[in-house]
Structure 1
């Protein structure tokens, strides 16, 4: 037994010294066609969505040269030289690419479907040029479920994409709405995760977020995406689709902090008849149906909480490129109080398993 223990410690020490593969799982891109279409809708309908002042106009409408917004625009549109150079300098082996907010969901259904096809083709071509460095998540138009499911199948079976990106609400509706059932059925059937990414709060909840720049990543994004996930849990979506898998960024969009109270209040409301009883507690759905990434959230205390609530097997590393620093994201996990095996799980093993990466 003593010899086995020594051998185990030596193996762990060797693993800690060896270069560790790093797969970043929430890395944004855009296409010139999308950027042009976003600006057209932003200029013609400037008050149609809080996404316009919080993102589209600041990044794509002639940002000040040298500003962060100017850099974001350049790096979002680049899926070649500058992105690869940044990856190499930070020691990142692979990025899992997904279209930045608001994706195609801001457009009317027919236009959204067309842009989803061209965006996914653009992504697949970038991956084909560098198949060891990039993998990708497909976008689609949820508000046209027939076209959406067709594009989901094409993206996985023909283009080789590894899952889907949904930039949260579509026409102010969330994925618990029955009209999106075909989308959830397709994701479950294809056995591919949906990355539920934030965007600015929907029009029904946007008013308090318009002041103090609250609509974006400082607060509104997380509140909005967390609300979306809770709606899916409490509506019984995961009783109807028990094999459906959802990925949440930013350490779980605050759900790990709320999980005890979600369990407590869901049980109370089911008991007194205010809510339809669920088969499982919210925390059990969270461990069974969700995975969490670390994108843009480099807090050791929060990481400890997420490990306890989600389980180490459900946590994946992410940078949130280009909005966050690749080097800082690497340094955070390399310096975290983790075993070598835990670090490998977060850096690459879980991503390989959840997204079926080579």
Structure 2
């Protein structure tokens, strides 16, 4: 029997958002290829709980799925109130991360404060960019300051590419036949979950570092999924080369080790975990699934393989499974 498992990149999609034609089109590939995705995205009760029980997920920290362009302030209130109702109905099984209107940094800070203080949320999950805008500019500093003041971890989550970034993954065209060098499916995959999403999210974290944000707000905590969006595999190189970027009070390695948490969401391999365990504090690694885009059963299978690998001690495994999440988010895994 595995230890209690807390999963914290676990999404739902509000029905009013999914019913928007542009959002429905954006999700068409996922809805086509992931069995039962629509029902699982919309569920905040029986279906979700059954999936959790079947794969021994003790607690989910809910978040809203990516919404290109960012939900409006009023949509975020509706979304967050829906998650708050689910937490109230199932307090031992759910907690929540706030959905924020990142197109308006002032409104985002205000909604974060409401969610943390009034709804008792445990942090926020925000899309990686808003219409191609990252959050390292001066306009976003009050938002980050609010997160630091509230001790609210911010999960920086991939979302669909803006048109310019998406164009980088477009196939070459034969000038005579107009034949593409690869399929549209390959374009969509490379621009999204196969690589593009993760690269762009990692670059966003580098931009935050380069802006001096972590010198200004030394207690700000960021969470990155998918094994750190690739950053663990470049950490040592970035640490050396980032010294050329300016004068910083805290090195990139220090920020990496003190301001960043990494989750396992949706990457079911032991090889990347081996790298992370060599250069990332064990207290900074947390289990996650990326439900319902990834399958809880696959998460459980990976966890069992990980435990069986003897890469960590029993005590270290318990930290990754639930202990770190309990400490960071102030939640408790229910007793079995």
TM over 0.5: yes
Structure 1 unaligned residues grouped into runs of 5+: 1-17, 44-51, 270-274
Offset of residue 204 of structure 1 = 3.5
Pick aligned residue for 2:239 from 256, 263, 281: 263
* Secondary structure in 2 matching 1:321: coil
Shift of the 19–332 alpha-carbon distance from structure 1 to 2, 3 Å rule, reads: closer
* Secondary structure in 2 matching 1:247: strand
Offset of residue 240 of structure 1 = 1.0
Pick aligned residue for 1:250 from 226, 238, 248: 226
The answer for the alignment partner of 1:24 in structure 2 is 7
The answer for the alignment partner of 1:305 in structure 2 is 275
The answer for the alignment partner of 2:120 in structure 1 is 160
The answer for the alignment partner of 1:106 in structure 2 is 69
Q: Cα deviations across residues 16-56 of structure 1 (Å, max 9, x unaligned)?
A: xx65211011111111111123x2x458xxxxxxxx6xx42
Pick aligned residue for 1:95 from 60, 70, 88: 60
8 A Cα contact 2:2 2:304, kept in partner: no
* Secondary structure in 1 matching 2:234: helix
In the alignment, is residue 80 of structure 1 matched against residue 80 of structure 2? no
Q: Cα deviations across residues 237-291 of structure 1 (Å, max 9, x unaligned)?
A: 1011111000000000000111111012112x2xxxxx32111221110111000
Offset of residue 146 of structure 1 = 2.3
Query: Structure 1 residue runs of 4+, over 4 Å off?
Result: none
Offset of residue 168 of structure 1 = 0.6
Q: Cα deviations across residues 329-351 of structure 1 (Å, max 9, x unaligned)?
A: 12222322221111100000000
Q: What RMSD over aligned residues (CA atoms) do the two structures have, in Å?
A: 1.7
Pick aligned residue for 1:232 from 198, 208, 212: 208
The answer for the alignment partner of 1:49 in structure 2 is none
Q: Distance in 1 between the 2:235 and 2:261 partners?
A: 14
Pick aligned residue for 2:155 from 187, 192, 195: 195
Pick aligned residue for 1:116 from 36, 55, 76: 76
Pick aligned residue for 1:323 from 266, 290, 293: 293
Shift of the 210–130 alpha-carbon distance from structure 1 to 2, 3 Å rule, reads: farther
Pick aligned residue for 1:184 from 141, 144, 148: 144
Q: Distance in 2 between the 1:200 and 1:215 partners?
A: 8
The answer for the alignment partner of 1:347 in structure 2 is 321
The answer for the alignment partner of 1:174 in structure 2 is 134
8 A Cα contact 2:286 2:319, kept in partner: yes
- The range that moved more, 244-253 or 301-310, is 301-310
Offset of residue 208 of structure 1 = 1.6
